[in-house]
Structure 1
Amino acid sequence: MSPRDPETHPDGDFSGQEFTDVDFRGTVFPDRTDFGGAVFHGKADFSGAVFTGRVFFTGAVFEGEADFYQAVFEGFANFRGVRIVGAATFNGAVFADGPLIEDAVVDGPLGFRRAVFENTSMLGPLSARSVDFTHATCHRRVRIDVRTEEVGCERARFPSGVRLLAHGARVFFTDTELGGASFIGTQDPDDRDDWPQVMSLTGTDTGELTLSYTRLWRCRLAGVHNLDRMRIEGYSTFDVAPPRLFTARRSIIWDEHLLRGTWPQAPRLGRRRWAPPADLPPAAAPESASEVEQAYRALRKGCVDAGDEVGAGDFYYGEMEMRRLGQFLLARTRRRDRWWPGWVAARGEHLLLWLYWAVSGYGLRASRAFAALAVVIAVAAAAFGAWGYPPAADMTYFDSLRFSLRAATSLLRGPEQGLTPAGEWIELVLRFTGPLLFGLALLAVRGRVRR
């Protein structure tokens, strides 16, 4: 029998048969076609084939590559229980109804590049080395349940949404169209190794996307649309800032890691601490700090709307860090261009943000604010002892410390001790600086309690 001669089986029944290096390129299969239980030795080439009716590959075994490049399935296509030892290629294929690819095992990569799914489809549960939906189009809602190393959906179109269960896989949703409610997650939240690792959402409108029990350590979020409306349910983990002495750990997005660690314009001292791990492939950093700042702002807004004070605090810290870094880089640029008024403005805002960070951690670190208040009171007490009292005054350092503490915690109380003109200036500065630092400390305590 010649495998290219469909007339040998006019009823389209190839079930249980064995084929060797089968070549059905461009073949038209009329009506119902059944390859259930068939065994294909070597390569099975169905590229350009047209299945005008229902087609069944139920339980078929492909001992080599299965090539369905630009095949057309005009009826329902059933690939339940199929076993493919090599790669499976459906690139450019058109599915008018279905397909059903369930309990399938593909040892090699599974490709659906530029494939078109006209009707509701259910892909999985299945396993493959990788699954590629680059430029694919699913006109109706599709459910994808895959156990694989990587799922690529770059520039794919899901106008009615997608439910993706990617068990332990790296997921790429770059410039992907999500027109309906969509979901990325897992069915086994207790197993952290089963959580999908979302690598990129850049260029994707995530307004109707829900992430549940996902790993976002290496996820690119700069340039994501409607990020504030994306829902993060369950326990999805972000990366954490590299450790540094006297700094609290906080959740960060991977874009900040790349910006600080690989951007040539970033401060040199921080690049070593923020450098990405050497075992990761090189990745391009965001174009500017403002992109990362906007991503943090959108994430913070989403956390506030969801009542997540912990996440909102960390993302606000990241937003302010990117704003401070942006002003530092802007001042450097304006100095290089010799635009001195702009340099003064950028440098002034950077200094203000630096002080806000140093004395209170942007109003989020209570210990830093209390420490700054204690230092100011101690320094003021020493200054009072050196220049603040008349020569006849007999004041010890502890008397000055008590006087400084009273002055620092009140704006309007009059002086209880005669002072020199220098002492009056010290007291005036202390009466404004002390309540400011005390207020920042209370603000940080309030934020910690609300968490």
Structure 2
Amino acid sequence: MVRPPRRNACNYTQPDQPACPGRRLPSGRCLTHLSEPDRLEFLASLSYGQDIDFSGTTFTSDLLNQVLDSARDPNTRRAGFGLAKFSGATFTGPVNFGSVDFLKDATFLRAHFHDEALFTGAEFHSNLHFGEAKLESECRFEGVRFPGLAVFANTSFSGATSFTDCIFSRRAEFRSVTFSSASFRRVEFRDRCYFTESMFSGRSSRFTSAQFLRQADFTSSSFRNTAQFRFAKFNSGALFTNASINVAAFRDVLFGREADFSNVTFGRGLFANATFSTDANYNKARFSGKCSFTDAVFSGATLFHDTRFSQDAYFVRAKFEQSKRIGPMASDGAIIFNGASFENPVILEASATDLAFQQTDWSSTGVLRIRRAKTDLSGATFASAMTVATNLKPFLSVDGDAIDDSIDSGSVQAKITSLQGTDVSKLLLVDIDLQECRFTGSMHLDQIRLEGECQFSSSPRGIHYAGWRITRWSQRRVLAEEAEWRSSRPSPRGWNAPSMTASVAPAALSATYRHLRKSFEDSKNEPDAADFYYGEMEMRRNDGNRPLSERYLLALYCLVSGYGLRAVRALIWLGITMVATLATLVLWGLPSHAPTAFSSGVIRGNTFQEVTTTPKPVNPTGPLLSRVTPQRIERGFRIVVNSVVFRSSGQALTTSGTYIEMSSRLVEPVFLGLALLAIRGRLKR
């Protein structure tokens, strides 16, 4: 199909070739197809600052150099054009506009550069229109100043492109541009710049030390490899909404106004030492690789609503100055806030495998709502009331839908693994799993508050064997440190340590149990405080630094009543004592027959004096089995029951029986009292 001739076009034709689209000169042809005499005549007519129109013209390197040489100022040796139109022009070889002054608008719309294009050293005095151009090789604008509009929309840069040290005084348009390798190092954008829907496909796209004085818009842009913005300064808004960035390198970046990274898909995110002067918006952002906000400063709102990290996220030593709410965020790995500081009242919501808040500083009230995570609060400082709670219901997204934070099918209950070195006087724990928590070394532990379903580890169940020793542990709440200590002993007998940290000595554990017991007692929860009293006594009994006599006394106390907390144990010993008392009474304590008292009297004058004599009880004789009769058992049982309630039976007993009764009246009420004390401890409000 033959295209119709274009108006004002050269329309020079060759067989099987389309008509030439070059701008027709007064001689009737475009510059490329002019005859040699006409071309020389036209070039001789050019002068510095003259308007030119080479739209659609095809330039070789030599032809372009001839044009530039014809338009040079003889004094400065720089070429100069007034209104310069190169729209649709084709440059078949390397071109160099480095010594050209564009005094008016320069237009390269839909221009096609087949080889290197150098504009370094060029001076633009007005607007530059480079839209829809195609550059197949290297392109350089290094050090160029753009005083007017700079429009590169829909341009394709297939080779290395450099705008290093350029200054854009007015709006810079890079919408829907395709870059292979781009460098904007030390560029200064004094007005708004737009990189919306642009694609950076090279190994690295460098904006190092760039300055954006007005809004920078990278909405829906795509960086297939590294987006290097280190030391960049965004004095106004930075918009990256819906962008895709494989490696976001924003170390040491200053965001003077809002930084909007909402709905951005990141590979790795590197924001170490970044400063967010106002709001930082990462709502619905997705990080598939590791993310670092180490030493970042957040001076405004910190928005991480429905943000998802597929790997570890680091907020180490980050500073949150005005943040009121952080999250809810979710991570398949760990979220680490070690050394971070929170200067305002803040609510932080997160779901992760691990959360670390070591050495964090909370200058005001805080609420930490967690799902699933193992949380380390060792060394944290709480200046005001702090609440750590399990968020049993799923977090909600910005749209009100439940956030899918499922990592496995396990419990959503949050765990705290350490409170060592933490002042917990202002700490409230709600529905927290404390089975692996290390309390030893925390301060003011007696003032910690626990509400809801806070779970502790428990002693081993069942019967355990260690050689000839058979052990059945009393069921109670225990601390992770005790489990570790018992597991480290030669015969653990059923104890399994939750972690491999060094065990804590019984002396320190005794104090830890005592402080926790006091915390429960101050909360009017004496039944649950009993378990911690039991643990305290157990650690005192196993403390090798205590006197041996005290340890034996505690061992006896544990044996007979479980430190006054095991009613069944005391009742068993009471039953054993009663049976032993009954048996000894039947066999040796009761006389062979009840002695019969008789009376006699003497009459002296008008006086009668009566004397009653009771024979001494006779010890039973004969075989022991012959002494076991129902009558003797019944008499012995009455004596035993009276002894339990510290009463004398009043029956005649042998000498042995008298001592047996005295002993039973001393021992049996003690066992009964211990049993009643244990029952009262479990039922007391």
Does the TM-score normalized on the shorter chain lie above 0.5? Answer: yes
Could you tell me which amino acid in structure 2 is paired with residue 43 of structure 1? V
Q: Deviations over 1:1-27 (max 9, x none)?
A: 535455352532222222341111111
Q: Quick one: which amino acid aligns to residue 87 of structure 1?
A: K
Q: Which residue is 1:335 aligned to?
A: none
**Aligned residue type for 2:510:** E
TM-score normalized by the length of structure 2: 0.58
SS at the partner of 1:243? coil
Partner amino acid, structure 2, of 1:428: M
Q: Which one of 418, 427, 432 corresponds to residue 653 of structure 2?
A: 418
| Root mean square deviation, CA, Å | 2.4
Tell me which moved more, 25-34 or 212-221.
25-34
Structure 2 residue 318 is the aligned partner of structure 1 residue 92 = no
Aligned equivalents of 2:639, 2:421: Cα separation in 1: 55
Counterpart secondary structure, 1:164: strand
Change (3 A) 1:242 1:419: same
Cα 1:60–1:189, aligned 2, differ >3 Å: closer, same or farther?
Answer: closer
Equivalent AA in structure 2 for residue 259 of structure 1: W
String of CA shifts for 1:344-396, please: whole Å, max 9, x gaps: xx221112111111111111211111110111122233333455456734564
Shift of the alpha carbon at 1:437?
0.9
State the one-letter code of the partner of 2:674. Answer: L
Kindly indicate whether residue 670 of structure 2 is the aligned counterpart of residue 436 of structure 1: yes
Gaps of 5+ in 2: 1-181, 194-211, 395-408, 464-471, 593-617, 621-626
Code of the aligned partner of 1:273 = G
**1:57, 1:5 → 2: CA distance?**
23
Query: In the alignment, what sits opposite 2:204?
Result: none
Could you state the TM-score of these two structures normalised by the residue count of structure 1?
0.87
Number of equivalent positions: 423
Which whole-Å CA distance do the structure 2 matches of 1:207 and 1:293 have between them? 19
Residues 1:101 and 2:304 are matched in the alignment: yes
- Is the alpha carbon distance of 1:429 and 1:192 closer, same or farther for their aligned partners in structure 2, counting shifts above 3 Å? farther
Looking at structure 2, the residues matched to 32 and 189 of structure 1 have their Cα atoms a distance apart, in angstroms, of: 36
Q: Match for residue 502 of structure 2?
A: 284
Where in structure 2 are the equivalents of 1:124-203 lying within 5 Å? 124-128=327-331, 129-188=333-392, 193-203=411-421
- The correspondence for 2:445, drawn from 223, 227, 242, is 227
Superposition deviation, residue 200 in structure 1: 0.9
2:591–2:652: 8 Å Cα contact kept in structure 1? Answer: no
1 CA distance for matches of 2:659 and 2:410?
Answer: 60
2:475 corresponds to 1:249: yes
Q: Is the partner of 1:195 in helix, strand or coil?
A: coil
Q: Which amino acid aligns with 2:495?
A: W
Instruction: Describe the SS at the equivalent of 1:300.
Output: helix
Contact 1:290-1:322 at 8 Å conserved across structures: yes
Residue 186 of structure 1: CA displacement? 2.3
Distance 1:33 1:275, change over 3 A: closer
Partner of 2:457: 239
Q: Secondary structure at the match of 2:217?
A: coil
**Structure 2 match to 1:70:** 273
Which residue of 2 is the match for residue 79 of structure 1?
282
The structure carrying a bigger helix percent of its residues is 1
- 1:381 alignment partner AA: L
How do 1:232-381 and structure 2 match up within 5 A? Answer: 232-245=450-463, 248-262=474-488, 264=489, 268-269=490-491, 271-276=492-497, 281-286=499-504, 288-326=505-543, 329-330=544-545, 346-381=547-582
Pairing 1:30-41 to 2, within 5 Å after superposition: 30-40=235-245
Deviations 1:33-91, CA, capped at 9 Å, x for gaps = 22222221x311111111122221122221x2110111112222222221222111000
Q: Which has the higher contact order (CA 8 A, sep 6+)?
A: 1
Q: Which has the higher strand share?
A: 2
Larger radius of gyration: 2
Q: Residues of 2 paired with 1:21 and 1:410: CA distance?
A: 86
Counterpart-to-counterpart distance in 2, 1:289 and 1:54: 54
1:116 aligns with 2:319: yes
Identical residues among aligned pairs (%)? 29
Question: C-alpha separation between the residues in 2 aligned to 1:160 and 1:313?
Answer: 34
CA contact (8 A) 1:189 1:213 kept: no
CA deviation after TM superposition for structure 1 residue 244, in Å: 4.4
Shift of residue 214, structure 1, vs aligned partner: 1.3
Q: Distance in 2 between matches of 1:406 and 1:99?
A: 74
Q: Deviations over 1:382-426 (max 9, x none)?
A: 333455456734564625642551452244637522322x44333
Amino acid at match of 1:376: T
Q: CA deviation at 1:258?
A: 1.0
| Partner Cα separation in structure 2 for residue 124 and residue 243 of structure 1 | 41
CA–CA separation in structure 1 for the residues paired with 2:462 and 2:243: 62
Q: Secondary structure at the match of 1:92?
A: coil
- Paired with 2:591 and 2:393, the residues of 1 have a C-alpha distance of 71
- DSSP-derived class of the 1:194 partner: coil
* Contact 1:300–1:313 (8 Å) recurs in 2: yes
**How has the CA–CA distance of structure 1 residues 412 and 404 changed in structure 2, closer, same or farther, with 3 Å as cutoff?**
closer
How far does residue 203 in structure 1 lie from its aligned partner after superposition?
1.3
**SS of residue matched to 2:280:** strand
The answer to whether the Cα contact below 8 Å between 1:120 and 1:140 also exists between their aligned partners in 2 is yes
The equivalent residue for 2:259 is 55
String of CA shifts for 1:204-257, please: whole Å, max 9, x gaps.
111111111111111111222222221211111111111245654211111111
Distance 1:163 1:299, change over 3 A: same
